[in-house]
Structure 1
Amino acid sequence: MNWKLTTTLLLTGIVTCVSIASCMPRTEAQTSVQFICGVSFDQNDGKRLPTTFAWTPRGKIAVVRWVKALGSYSPQQRCQQVSPRFQQAYNNDNLNFLTNSTTSNGQNIICASSKYDGSCETVLMTLRREDKPLQILNQLKDTLNGRSVGPVKHSSGTPQVYYQIDIDEWLRNQPVVSK
């Protein structure tokens, strides 16, 4: 076989593999960020509450503190269900746009999208009927944009709104929770 042809084929294969890998979503092996459900102390209420954390090499960062139940789902159960959804959205690179939407049965949700004006790709959380979707979305946006100190405290015909979030910038700059 011709060495020039062999070298060309080998280089083409390497370039193809690198190109495909750069377009693939993040995996847990590629990132050291993990969204987990844990417990944090709420100084205002004096209680330990289930909390969705982003666990980074710098430490853990509180994202959502769960206070209220949703139907038969306790705050702990909600935390355990939602934390993996944040992880899924982060791994799939669609946690950069947050939006609100409704399910087919009319229940309000907060979800992630890979682009502005895109469809809801990962449902992050289902809201209670009495929750105000824009208020929760704004709180989450402010938290993830570093404009709010501390996590969103989820205790409380809406237009759909999109917010762009630089999740990696937020993970680099937010204070971590001390042990």
Structure 2
Amino acid sequence: MKLKSILSTIAASAVAIGSIAKFSQPSFAQKGKTVFFCGKSSTGTPTTYGRTASGKRIPIISWQKPWSNEFTPEKRCQIVSQKFQKAEEEGVLNYFTSGVASNSNVVCATRRYGGPCDMVLFTLRKEDKPHEVTEALFGAGYKASGPVIQSEDGSPRYYYDVNFMIRQKSK
């Protein structure tokens, strides 16, 4: 009889511990990371947001112009927000910079200042100037300190500190 009681207690404890483990898995926000997602601004514009560990929603990119019939602002917002989240999860979203991929200008994430593009976040239109787009998106105030890096084609490559930008915008 005593053995049956002990086995019942062990079984009940195992179920309770399993339930606690299932419902208390840490999210990125709990670990101090930013969670990226697509949402609508107060004016209804699709916007890539970052949600900080404190729960503050920070607008990163407002998607106002269609890229093509296939890539509406809503579609680009969804795709790019997922790329931001993947870059965050993989630890490469420390700096933004621009580069070239498949003969197209791109904005990408990189692990370190002066480093190469580790992950393409989105492609620019042919008429877009990479430096002007990144400056407009992220602002001159978030440029990382240090020398400007020359890219392969000789043009300057600027780096924007993602963590600094998010900290400043969350104040």
TM-score range, shorter-chain basis? 0.5 to 0.7
TM-score relative to the length of structure 2: 0.66
Alpha-carbon displacement from aligned partner over 1:96-155 (angstroms, at most 9, x marks no partner): 222111122x21100011123322111111111222211111123327829xxxxxxxxx
Match of 1:70 among 67, 72, 77: 67
Residue 92 of structure 2 corresponds to 94
1:118 aligns with 2:119: no
SS at match of 1:48: coil
Paired with 1:33 and 1:40, the residues of 2 have a C-alpha distance of 18
Paired with 2:169 and 2:135, the residues of 1 have a C-alpha distance of 18
Residue 138 of structure 1 corresponds to 135
Match of 1:127 among 124, 129, 149: 124
**Pairwise CA distance, 1:35:** 0.4
Residue 51 of structure 1 corresponds to 47
SS at match of 2:44: strand
Instruction: Specify the code of the residue in structure 2 equivalent to 1:62.
Output: P
C-alpha contact 2:28 2:34 (8 A) present in aligned 1: no
C-alpha contact 2:29 2:51 (8 A) present in aligned 1: no
Paired with 2:154 and 2:126, the residues of 1 have a C-alpha distance of 12
SS at match of 2:45: strand
Going from structure 1 to structure 2, the CA distance change for 1:172 and 1:100 (only over 3 Å counts) comes to: closer
Residue 16 of structure 2 corresponds to none
Match of 1:103 among 101, 104, 108: 101
Going from structure 1 to structure 2, the CA distance change for 1:63 and 1:158 (only over 3 Å counts) comes to: farther
Q: Could you list the runs of 5+ residues in structure 2 that have no partner in the other structure?
A: 1-26, 144-152
**RMSD (Å) for aligned C-alpha atoms:** 2.8
Between the two proteins, the alignment pairs up a number of residues equal to 134
TM-score relative to the length of structure 1: 0.64
Return the index of the structure with the highest Cα Rg: 2
**Pairwise CA distance, 1:68:** 1.1
Match of 2:159 among 140, 157, 163: 163
Q: Could you list the runs of 5+ residues in structure 1 that have no partner in the other structure?
A: 1-25, 42-46, 147-156
